[in-house]
Structure 1
Amino acid sequence: MKLLHAFALCALLFPIEAPPVSIPLSQSSWHSFWLFRLTINLIGYSTVLVPAYFLIQHLKKIKYNETGSGICFPYVMTCVFGRDVAVADSQPTSSPGAPVVETVSTPRYRGFVLLCCAAGLQASYLTWGVIQERIMTREYGKQDGVPGEKFTNSQFLVFVNRLLALTVAGIYITVFRQPKHSCPLYRFSFASFSNIMSSWFQYEALKFVSFPTQVLGKACKVIPVMLMGKVVSGNIYEVYEWVTAGMLSVGISLFLLSSGSGSAQDSSGLDSAGAYSPMVASFSGLILMLGYMAFDSFTSNWQGKLFKVHKMSSIQMMFGVNLFSCIFTSCSLLEQGGFFEAFAFMMKHWDFAVHSVILSICSAVGQLFIFYTISEFGAVIFTIIMTLRQAFAILLSCFIYGHPVGLLGIVGILVVFIALFLRIYARSRKSVINKTASTTTKV
């Protein structure tokens, strides 16, 4: 019952509306509906996960790490049991013969590096957002008198993104020597599964909500997290957290109220033109956005746990997660015939192939900027940069794709991002005060 209450509160805070452009009947039939696609994808993933689970349990049961031998033994140890790594060996070392580069840490140099990181993040993810919206919400091949068609296979987009990210991480690991760590390879699969699911939910949500709505929903995911924490776990939050959460809910409500409603449809599921009704579209958009938030939250928490326990580098994390993402999505796509479907679409629409490549490049390069920015300047600076990116993404999407945003919507956007910056500032100040108090106590 508590979960139902929390879900109802989320629905009130996120009154997601259908986008102005309705989805044609050819794309809204049962075999293309997101729930059917999700079920088929999960079945495909289970053909890898279930046998792997029983194999790992069997190897642990027979204590293969103590009794095993042969040519496969080191690979099984790496994948299932991990390696015992001494503390001294866990530190990264440079490649043999690599030149020694002195680190320049002047304020001017660090400011220049920060500017480059901010520019790289903005360019990568703003381009990524524009291309993502183009692929998922616009038709290809539409001309005078010739109907176009939309690309609907979100899983293929997840695959191409992860494939290029895996390639980039693999090249980096080959060129630059990485620290040894004790993490069994299979543990990356948990974050990988949640990562591909969050990406899939994100792509599918664009079929039911506008891109600005999705960006604001992602920026405001703190609201359902706090509600769930309070209702389910009884968590206690600071006053500033409740105040900024209230500002976020007010801001997104103002934006959604100014966005206008979709086309006139009945509530039977499909209207006479063969499009999803507002009820179906709104509910689907809400579920998909909540699914994205849930899986995305798990991914970051699980990765943080692996970083803390096994002391690996961010590039090793990037490689491990994307490796399993490619395995899961490729197996599922092969079983469904998704590769043939996507390649056939590419042959008909070469601009889609170009868009897919650009999307993958932006995603891979963006990941590198993320890891470097966090390691050099910390999570607070990174959060500020990405918050600005969300604001720019909304403005760019409205400018390019003509999303109507009135004065009320602009006020709502400003309220949302003021709340986010206040939250970052309050959290940073609290961290400084706690650190100062801790130092004083020790003295």
Structure 2
Amino acid sequence: MGIHGVGIRRAMELAFCITGIWSAYIYQGLLQETVSTRRFGLNKERFEHLAFLNLAQSVVCLQWSFIMINIWRKARVARAPWRSYWSAGITNTIGPAMGIEALKYISYPAQVLAKSSKMIPVMLMGTLVYGIKYSYREYLCSLLVAGGVSIFALSKTNSKTINKVANPNAPLGYGLCFLNLVFDGFTNATQDSISARYPKTNAWDMMLGMNLWGTIYNLVFMFGWPQASGYQAVQFCRDNPEAAWDILYYCLCGAIGQNFIFFTISRFGSLTNTTITTTRKFVSIVVSSLLSGNPLSRKQWGSVAMVFSGLSYQIYLKRKKSKRMKRKKKAF
């Protein structure tokens, strides 16, 4: 296959990844908002055990990756051992749980926007813990994102949006999102380290390793003692089958989305994946706002523009830095 043919194939693979990630996670976001805010059954009860979503998704993704590995199994290569995922499994279990829990206190668009500010805790930890110095352009990106999130959080929302949440407590919601970002930062760093040490590890290997440990940790957390909330979550699903179906669809979307994300990382790298997921978050906010009947105010749209301007500039700087490093390697 010539260079032109390879380029077309790569472009088709990238389009395939973008379509898969956007479709899976935009729909999953809508389901997540539905599960966290909908009133189920005759008593109109909310599903309060949102951490159960992480366990359910880990189990479904574990099964999915196991099936894919056995279907596409190749000759034995030096893949990453399962024990290498244990630390990332911890942060990947706690982080998303906090992100989902935040939906009890803030709206889905607010959660998506807050979680877009991942660079802020990463830079803070890099400076305080590792003594890393950042350029003024990187600080400008952080200021745009932080300012956008702050304006969005302080903007007035209509009563319909607030009433969707049982116990509105915005500071707690944004605090949970911040902790979610901190743990996500550790998770991403560990995944990059595993990919660098074991380049033969493919998308499904990583998906299996992460969800194996995630399932173990979540099982202990949800069912580790008699009064654990996992038993109540199961009982709620038995009493309200419609909630169980929403959770199942949510998990299937997560499995499909994870499949595309790990495939994108293995084929195009984490920077391309970041670009795709960042633009997806913006679309998620638009779709959620339109479908929920709660349009954002001009000030809130302005804050969204600030956040994604900062993120887009950050991606541009990373791409520029990546190309510069590649040129240096070729020179040597």
Q: Fold-level match, TM-score > 0.5?
A: yes
Shift of 1:216: 1.0
Q: Distance in 1 between matches of 2:87 and 2:125?
A: 22
Q: Does the 8 Å contact 1:258/1:405 carry over to 2?
A: no
Which ranges in structure 1 are unaligned for 5 or more consecutive residues?
1-100, 264-274
Q: Does 1:194 align with 2:91?
A: yes
Summarize the Cα distance change of 1:183–1:435 in structure 2 as closer, same or farther, 3 Å threshold.
closer
Question: What residue number does 2:177 align with?
Answer: 289
Q: Corresponding residue for 1:22?
A: none
* Closer/same/farther in 2, CA of residues 300 and 434 from structure 1, 3 Å limit: closer
Deviates more, 1:245-254 or 1:224-233: 224-233
Greater CA radius of gyration, 1 or 2? 1
Quote the residue 1:85 is aligned against: none
Letter aligned with residue 234 of structure 1? G
From the superposition, tell whether residues 439 and 329 of structure 1 become closer, same or farther in structure 2 (CA, over 3 Å): closer
Aligned partner of residue 403 in structure 1, secondary structure: coil
Within 2, Cα distance between the matches of 1:229 and 1:199?
22
1:352 aligned residue: 243
Match 2:71 to one of 165, 170, 175: 175
* Residue of 124, 137, 142 corresponding to 2:37: 137
Q: Which of 293, 298, 314 is matched with 2:186 structurally?
A: 298
Structure 2 unaligned residues grouped into runs of 5+: 161-165
Matched residue, 1:36: none
The residue that corresponds to 1:396 in the other structure is 287
Match of 1:383 in 2: 274
Match of residue 61 from structure 2: 165
What is the rounded CA distance, in whole Å, between the counterparts of 1:165 and 1:435 in structure 2? 35
The superposition leaves residues 297-317 of structure 1 with CA deviations (integer Å, 9 ceiling, x where unpaired) of: 111112222233344333222
Q: Report Cα offsets for 1:359-394 as digits up to 9, x if no partner.
A: 111111111111222222333332221111000111
> After superposition, where does 1:43-442 map in structure 2 within 5 Å?
105-141=5-41, 147-178=43-74, 179-181=76-78, 183-260=80-157, 276=167, 281-311=169-199, 312-334=201-223, 335=225, 336=227, 338-440=229-331, 442=332
Residue of structure 2 in register with 1:42 after alignment: none
Cα displacement (A) at 1:183: 4.8
Amino acid of the residue matched to residue 299 of structure 2?
A: L
Give the distance between the partners of 2:329 and 2:210, measured in 1 at CA. 36
Taking structure 2 as the reference length, the TM-score comes to 0.88
Q: How far off its partner does 1:426 sit? A: 1.8
8 A contact 2:203–2:265 mirrored in 1 = no
CA apart distance, 1:107: 3.2
AA of the residue aligned to 1:189: W
Q: Which amino acid in 1 is paired with 2:89?
A: S
Q: TM-score, normalised by structure 1?
A: 0.67
1:149 offset after TM fit, Å?
0.6
Residue 184 of structure 1 deviates from its aligned partner by 4.7
Segment drifting more, 325-334 vs 167-176: 325-334
In 2 relative to 1, CA 157–117 (structure 1 residues): closer, same or farther, beyond 3 Å? same
Q: Percent identity?
A: 30
Whichever residue aligns with residue 184 of structure 2, its letter is D
Secondary structure of the 1:154 match is: coil
Computed over aligned residues only, the root mean square deviation of the Cα atoms, in angstroms, reads 2.6
User: Whole-Å Cα distance in 2 between the matches of residues 260 and 356 of structure 1?
Assistant: 28
